[in-house]
Amino acid sequence: MEETLISDGLFINGVTTPAQSGDTKIITNPANGTAIASVAQASAVDVDAAVSAALDAFGAWTALSFSERQQHLKRLAKGIEAAETDFAQLETRNVGRPLRESTDEVHLAISYLEYFSSIKDADLERSYLNSANGETTLLRMPYGVCAIITPWNYPLTSAVKELAPALLAGNTVVLKPSQWTPLSTILLAKVAIESGLPPGVINVITGTGITAGASLVRHQHVPRIAFVGSTTVGKDIMRMSADELKDITLALGGKSASILCHDADLDKALPAVAGNILKNCGQDYFARGRLLVQQSIYEEVAERLVTIFRSQVIGDPMNTNTTLGPMISRAHCKRIQKYVELGGSEGADLLYGGIQPENEAAQNGAFMQPALFGDVHPGMYIAKEEIFGPVLCLMEFDSIDQAVKIANSGIYGLGATIWSEDANRANQIARTLHVGVIAINSATARYPDVSFSRVKHSGTGKESGIEALHQYTLLKSISH
């Protein structure tokens, strides 16, 4: 495939800017290994320039009324919508995700902006008689400059789901996308300027975590950090923020489970279960990598899933009939294949896949067949760790109590799905699961207006809905 080399810089105060050091990094398309962009790599001085721009823009931005800021978010949503094809193609070329999935992600990003731009009762100011019968006004104030650090798997939505509430609350931001997939975030900042957002309200710093990311986290004029990424780095961010007592939220990894009860509608459940772990090649923090199956239906489920896995069309993510694109890199592919080997050595039964496909495309790109493991037990590494690839672990259960115990085991607490035609049973299970997001009879349930907490090692803070907006504010009480 012919690729056009994009040359991109940092985006500071509304202008594309090279790094002061002149450093750049080549970004490649994981489907074929071709260079697609050369991107500036920021160091501490560039981060300082971006934070200064955000600080300068803060006064005028925060002075706008809530509804004026909502109008800006609405215009940004329209701008993204108008450039939908550019965004989707860029994400597919950079991340490797099939084009249809990238388009869905663009729609999801727009839906966050639309939700936040249409909130009616934001509860940012309230007056009441306090317990001493005096009058109190409770105000929600913005922090100032917020840092938003995002991972490589869903660059656009990871940025927008934090950006929208941060801006609406009156903050300005410095975004730091992953060094592997910065392109759609840079485009987002450019579209924001074209949509009329004042310069300096959104700034983008590209580069490594260790240099650009760490300088941003430690910057004295950044009081609030939203980190989206791995649990390991999230813990580092928490440690790095301790000295300055910064307010941080961490959106981290997961190892979510689906519970498939004997009375589930398998025709509906199985394509959804497979689609969920194969989405973005399993490189999804909400992937339900563990499928807990009730004993009486276990054999049938395993057989039918093998058929679904075998039917995947692996190849060029730009082709509309492709269902499984490449992973982010060959190095990541190798990491996943190590997990496949580990699963075998732990005694799990590899029912399908886990190897490099033999077609021509696979020779240049980071492709692998999805892997399906049977006979997985809760103590195995493949059952406990976030694999972050297309690997589904089948685990058999007898009683619902046993299923709940398995689902709740482990360090993560992001999401879960329950498949059952008995609404009472499903609701009862849902109440006993220690996770933030539960879907009943659907693979996943993420909506911009539905708040949830990140539980256990899946992070801190809350996501989506009014709670996400409030999380970008500080409370001030004024009493008479």
Angle formed at CA 376 by CA 374 and CA 377, multiple of 5 degrees? 155
Nearer to ligand NAD by Cβ, of 189 and 228: the residue is 228
Least Cβ distance, residue 172 to ligand NAD (angstroms):
19
Candidate segments 233-241, 259-267, 340-348, 464-472, binder of ligand NAD by CB under 6 A:
233-241
Least Cβ distance, residue 468 to ligand NAD (angstroms):
12
Candidate segments 77-85, 102-110, 145-153, 193-201, binder of ligand NAD by CB under 6 A:
145-153
Binding of ligand NAD by 386 (CB under 6 A): yes
Closest CA to 406 of 433, 380, 378, 434: 378
Burial 80-119 (b: 16+ CB within 10 A, else e): bbebeeebbbbbbbbbbbbbebbbebbebbbbbbbbbbeb
Binding of ligand NAD by 204 (CB under 6 A): no
Binding of ligand NAD by 88 (CB under 6 A): no
Binding of ligand NAD by 147 (CB under 6 A): no
Binding of ligand NAD by 172 (CB under 6 A): no
Ranges within 238-277 binding ligand NAD (CB under 6 A): 251-254
Binding of ligand NAD by 372 (CB under 6 A): no
Amino acid at 12: I
Number of residues lying near ligand NAD (CB under 6 A): 31
Number of CB atoms found within 10 A of residue 385's CB:
16
Nearer to ligand NAD by Cβ, of 143 and 388: the residue is 388
Nearer to ligand NAD by Cβ, of 54 and 264: the residue is 54
d(CA 197, CA 266): 48
Binding of ligand NAD by 162 (CB under 6 A): no
Binding of ligand NAD by 178 (CB under 6 A): yes
CB 390 within 8 A of CB 324: yes
Binding of ligand NAD by 229 (CB under 6 A): yes
CB 382 within 8 A of CB 280: no
Q: Helices H, strands E: what count in the chain? A: 16, 25
Least Cβ distance, residue 100 to ligand NAD (angstroms):
19
Least Cβ distance, residue 258 to ligand NAD (angstroms):
17
What residues contact residue 330 under an 8 Å CB cut-off, 6+ apart?
Answer: 366
CB 348 within 8 A of CB 374: yes
Binding of ligand NAD by 95 (CB under 6 A): no
d(CA 399, CA 377): 15
Nearer to ligand NAD by Cβ, of 47 and 324: the residue is 47
- What count of residues does the chain have? 480
Binding of ligand NAD by 376 (CB under 6 A): no
Binding of ligand NAD by 210 (CB under 6 A): yes
CB 156 within 8 A of CB 188: yes
Contacts 24+ apart (CB under 8 A), 134-137: 134/479, 134/480, 135/479, 135/480, 136/477, 136/478, 136/479, 136/480, 137/477, 137/478, 137/479
Least Cβ distance, residue 329 to ligand NAD (angstroms):
11
What residues contact residue 285 under an 8 Å CB cut-off, 6+ apart?
Answer: 153, 251, 252, 253, 254, 386, 414, 458
Nearer to ligand NAD by Cβ, of 61 and 152: the residue is 152
* One residue of 285, 352, 397, 419 binding ligand NAD per CB under 6 A: 285
Binding of ligand NAD by 355 (CB under 6 A): no
Angle formed at CA 98 by CA 159 and CA 258, multiple of 5 degrees? 75
CB 201 within 8 A of CB 173: yes
* One residue of 24, 52, 179, 241 binding ligand NAD per CB under 6 A: 179
Binding of ligand NAD by 236 (CB under 6 A): yes
Nearer to ligand NAD by Cβ, of 154 and 352: the residue is 154
* One residue of 17, 41, 103, 158 binding ligand NAD per CB under 6 A: 158
Amino acid at 170: G
Nearer to ligand NAD by Cβ, of 146 and 149: the residue is 149
Least Cβ distance, residue 442 to ligand NAD (angstroms):
19
Least Cβ distance, residue 228 to ligand NAD (angstroms):
5
**Measured in whole angstroms, how far is the alpha carbon of residue 403 from the centre of its chain?**
27
Q: Contact positions toward ligand NAD, by CB under 6 A?
A: 149-154, 158, 176-179, 208-210, 213-214, 217, 228-230, 233, 236-237, 251-254, 285, 386, 388, 459
